[in-house]
């Protein structure tokens, strides 16, 4: 048997962002927990020098979807081997590498987004749909998505075998009035419904159904509350929409 020598020390790794995200999500609260769950969410990836050369994206318009490797820049640098996924109610602990938690070594994230346009008039801007990224997110790499290699419907999905259930969303008269004043009323309504239907409230929460929450979308603060229906089901009601 060959003797194992001591491994050489690994070199330090330094990564430089290739671009930064401008999105509908100013804060991390309310951001969809997976890409594609809010298809009305829009984002722009602005490439940074020296990566903003139009030659770097030549041919990218032939692809409909992209993989983005990014940094969870709002997450602490510390990590723990066990995490509590919201999908499991925030109580059950599993290994960090069995989750998509933001609290992980190196704080790296991976997101599949739809590419809806490329603007190379001044630098490079990639226009995206279905993004689950906070405004200001540093993007470390971009790769085209290949469905024949990466779409595996037979794969097992552990504790998240299907998309989360959706809650119905209703708008109060005050919220409807605020929407009516917006030029982006249609897209904003769709975004609010897609974000709130996923129930962004913390998995472990105090204060019962009466507690009010606020989620920032675009330049607004969307205030909402959980309401119990007559059949015992829960819906989320948008109470008001005010400038952030």
User: Is 83 found in the same domain as 126?
Assistant: yes
Pairwise CA distance, residues 199 & 196, whole Å: 5
Tokens of 6: 């001591």
Across 58-69, average pLDDT:
98
Residue 45 placed within a domain: yes
Task: Give the structural domain span for 224.
Answer: 169-243
CATH number assigned to the domain comprising residue 216: 3.30.2310
Residue 6 forms part of a structural domain: no
Q: Quick check: is 112 in a domain?
A: yes
Over range 95-106, report the average pLDDT: 92
* Percentage of residues of the chain with pLDDT beyond 70: 95
Neighbour-count burial of 142, counting CB atoms closer than 10 A to its CB (0-12 exposed, 13-18 middle, 19+ buried): buried
Q: 141 and 23, same structural domain?
A: yes
Do residues 108 and 55 both lie within one domain? Answer: yes
DSSP 5-51: PPPPPPPP-----SEEEEES-SSSTT--SSTTS-TT-EEEEEEPTTS
Q: What does the pLDDT read at residue 89?
A: 78
Region label for 62, one of left (φ > 0), alpha (ψ between -120 and 50) or beta (otherwise): alpha
Residue 77: pLDDT over 90 = no
pLDDT digits (tens, 9 = 90+) for 130-165: 999 999 999 999 999 999 999 999 999 998 888 888
Residues 136 and 199 in one domain: no
Q: Are residues 35 and 78 in the same domain?
A: yes
Q: For the whole model, what pTM was predicted?
A: 0.88
Q: Are residues 85 and 54 in the same domain?
A: yes
- Does residue 164 fall inside a structural domain? no
Mean pLDDT taken over the chain: 91
The CATH number of whichever domain residue 115 belongs to comes to 2.40.30.70
What 3-state class would DSSP assign to 176? helix
Is residue 221 over pLDDT 60?
Answer: yes
Q: Both tokens of residue 126?
A: 């990639």
CA nearest to 28, candidates 138, 139, 135, 188: 135
Query: Residue 3: what pLDDT?
Result: 60
What confidence score (pLDDT) does residue 172 get? 95
From the list 149, 97, 113, the residue with the least C-alpha distance to 32 is 113
Q: Are residues 219 and 129 in the same domain?
A: no
Confidence of residue 204 (pLDDT cuts 50, 70, 90): low
Dist. CA 175–CA 8, nearest whole Å: 61
Encode pLDDT of 160-201 as tens digits: 888 888 999 999 999 999 999 999 999 999 999 999 999 998
């Amino acid at each position: 048997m060959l003797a194992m020598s001591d491994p050489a020390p690994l070199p330090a790794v330094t990564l430089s962002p290739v671009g930064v995200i401008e999105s509908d999500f100013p804060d991390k609260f309310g951001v969809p927990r997976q890409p594609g769950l809010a298809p009305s969410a829009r984002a722009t990836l602005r490439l940074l020098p020296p990566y903003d050369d139009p030659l770097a994206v030549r041919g990218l318009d032939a692809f409909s979807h992209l993989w983005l490797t990014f940094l969870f820049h709002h997450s602490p640098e510390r990590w723990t081997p066990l995490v509590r996924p919201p999908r499991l109610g925030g109580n059950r602990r599993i290994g960090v590498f069995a989750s998509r938690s933001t609290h992980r070594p190196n704080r790296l994230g991976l997101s599949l987004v739809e590419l809806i346009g490329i603007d190379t008039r001044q630098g490079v801007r990639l226009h995206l749909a279905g993004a689950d990224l906070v405004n200001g997110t540093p993007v470390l790499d971009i790769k085209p998505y290949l469905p024949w290699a990466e779409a595996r419907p037979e794969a097992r999905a552990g504790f998240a075998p299907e998309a989360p259930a959706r809650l119905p969303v209703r708008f109060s008269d005050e919220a409807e009035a605020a929407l009516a004043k917006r030029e982006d009323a249609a897209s904003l309504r769709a975004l609010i419904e897609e974000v709130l239907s996923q129930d962004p409230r913390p998995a472990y929460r105090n204060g019962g159904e009466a507690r009010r929450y606020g989620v920032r979308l675009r330049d607004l603060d969307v205030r909402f509350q959980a309401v119990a229906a007559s059949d015992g089901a829960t819906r989320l009601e948008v109470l008001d929409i005010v400038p952030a």
